[in-house]
Amino acid sequence: MPTQVKVPAAGESITSANVANWHKKDGETVAKGDVLVTLETDKVSNELVADVAGVLKVLVKEGEEVAIGTVIAEIDESEAAPAESESAPAPETSETKSVEAPSSSEGKVIDVKVPAAGESITSANVAAWQKKDGDIVSKGDVLVTLETDKVSTELESDESGVLKVLVPEGEEVSIGTVIARITVGAGAAKAPEKAPAKPATKAEPPAPAPKPAAPEKIKPDFSALLDSKEKVEVTPVSEGRTTRRKMSMLRRKISTHLVNAQQTAAILTTFNEADMSAVMGLRKDVQDAFIKKHGVKLGFMSFFVKAVVQALKDVPAVNAQIDGNEIVENHFYDVGVAIGTEKGLVVPVLRDCDEKGFAEIEKDILAYAEKARDGKMQIEDLQGGVFTISNGGTYGSLLSTPILNPPQSGILGMHTIQQRPVAVNGKVEIRPMMYLALSYDHRLVDGKEAVTFLIRIKDCIENPTRLLLEM
């Protein structure tokens, strides 16, 4: 009896799913573990993989919405058996004993597929091929860099062999798409050129040219792109006085995220300023000893992270979020720090900042900055923050109104430090001043709480010894 492929349960409130994309065709032979289909619900997308090897029979077409538990395909295991018996090695005889049999893996073709990167991610962009079409690759070599709307990842080769690129750079493809194939073993690639000649005779004719290998089947969506080298290379299109290029997935995600934030939250911003003299003086006094002991510099950001933690403890309304008709109060302090990259803004999260010292925070920030620069940020690095800090001052910003990072209820904007005249004990003095901006969700946080929160940060920065004593 064929093995049934059913729509799995995806949560108590989900009663149906949409058959979004079949990755294997009707009648195609599949292996155990192959991604068969992408299913979409009103909340998440997930992929079903084959539990057994056999021939696939598709029962429900793409685009159809079906109930949970519906049988959408069957896998006939019996039809896969003959293929396995044909590949079994023949018994050794006196005639075959002297002939060295090729390796069982040599000549095998394996697919390079776009891996799953999270429930909400359904596609990826082929950002850069690290190996070229026809290159000989080794197991563990980085083949390609993929970009989703959240992170970048690198795919490594699972086997050694010859690479055949199927999808060019710049193309966006679904999760599970085969973007390349590897013919395992260098011998498999050279076999057509070194076909064994027949035993020599007195009037031996020239050896016939080797029969060309059968062309690989390429998906129709990409065959036109592989016709010429010019079509494979994706470049911006110049139109006289303008240049048009495709928006990256990260930039598209940022755009959608920011627009949604403006439309779903009642964002209001309050301002203040902080005298940075005490922090700057403290850094100058301890910097050399701090570097010698911890191996990293003492920056401004660790002071602001610790100040935010203290303010969140004192004004817990800012450390909460709205979920439908409920308020979720957070009792942990995972703070996101916005980092600008060439491809866009990412916000990695510093975990348990209330339990970490200045050195640990500085090391975490440095590690995230390196991962962002190298395009190795993971989706787990960006999830779960309760508050965000954005430092526009690194680019010279004097004042701004930062946008919330939903579902968070607050974001702090730091700005450039400027020498300005201020009144100190009845006298005018020149002090290094920084404008601070707190944007907050007015649906949850009242003006009094927002102002109190920002003043708490100001007090911590102007009296940094209070941070050390957690006062």
* Strand ranges, E, within 54-203: 54-58, 65-67, 71-76, 109-113, 123-129, 136-137, 142-147, 152-156, 161-165, 172-174, 178-184
Q: Which of 26, 42, 352, 446 is catalytic?
A: 446
Of 337, 281, 331, the closest CA to residue 304 belongs to: 337
* Strand ranges, E, within 339-426: 339-341, 344-346, 349-350, 387-391, 410-414, 417-424
Of 80, 68, 74, 83, the closest CA to residue 36 belongs to: 74
One-character DSSP codes across 92-104? P-TTTTTSPPPPS
Q: Is 446 a catalytic residue?
A: yes
Q: Is 442 a catalytic residue?
A: yes
Helix (H) or strand (E) holding 310: helix 300-314
Q: Which of 76, 257, 442, 459 is catalytic?
A: 442
176 to each of 24, 37, 457, how far by Cα in Å? 10, 9, 47
Separation between Cα atoms, residue 179 and residue 112, nearest integer Å: 6
One-character DSSP codes across 273-299? EEE-HHHHHHHHHHHHHHHHHHSS---
15 to each of 10, 18, 19, 41, 69, how far by Cα in Å? 8, 11, 14, 9, 9
Separation between Cα atoms, residue 177 and residue 268, nearest integer Å: 44
How many Cβ atoms from other residues are within 10 Å of residue 240's Cβ?
5
- Kindly list the catalytic residues: 442, 446
